[in-house]
Amino acid sequence: MSAELLKDRVKADMKTAMKSGDKSRLAVIRMILAAIKQIEVDERIELDDDRTILVLDKMLKQRRESIKQFRDAGRDDLADNEEAEIEVIQDYLPKPLSDEEIDVMVAKAVADTQAASIKDMGKVMGILKPQMTGRADMAVVSARIKASLGS
């Protein structure tokens, strides 16, 4: 992928959403572009696809946490809004890993680092995080690593 491809796709989708009158999708796309622009202005850089994926992954994580809090507070309406935002954000991320793929990657990372206990979890996460960012919920991956090292 070229350096501008993902960001250009988001901008093109914004124009499409404007023309079609899809206001909810347009709002999420504008939020994505604002988050990207904020980092570009703050750090005076042009984001590449890898960094853009990190931004999107962070947005996903924030929404997942919000959903949990909204559900706990009985605000299903707000949780549903967050879930709709997640669907739009995921359109721009790489294909999510399946449970089997995650298990295989965790097992390989544990073997490669020769991790023997929960104390070695940092080593395993260090290998997996760059490979899985944007493709898997790292909280789920963390739980799988703990289960693998705990046995």
CATH number at residue 104: 1.10.10.410
**pTM of the predicted protein model:** 0.82
Does the pLDDT at position 114 exceed 90? yes
Average of pLDDT values for 50-57? Answer: 93
Residue whose C-alpha is closest to residue 66's, from 88, 81, 52: 81
48/129 Cα distance (integer angstroms) = 18
Q: Identify the CATH number of the domain in which residue 50 sits.
A: 1.10.1510.10
Q: What pLDDT digit, counting tens, does each position of 76-88 carry?
A: 999 999 999 999 9
Residue 58: give the domain boundaries.
5-90
Specify whether the CB–CB gap between 88 and 118 falls below 8 A: no
Specify whether the CB–CB gap between 35 and 43 falls below 8 A: no
Of the residues 39, 69, 90, the one at which a domain ends: 90
- Say whether both 82 and 16 belong to one domain: yes
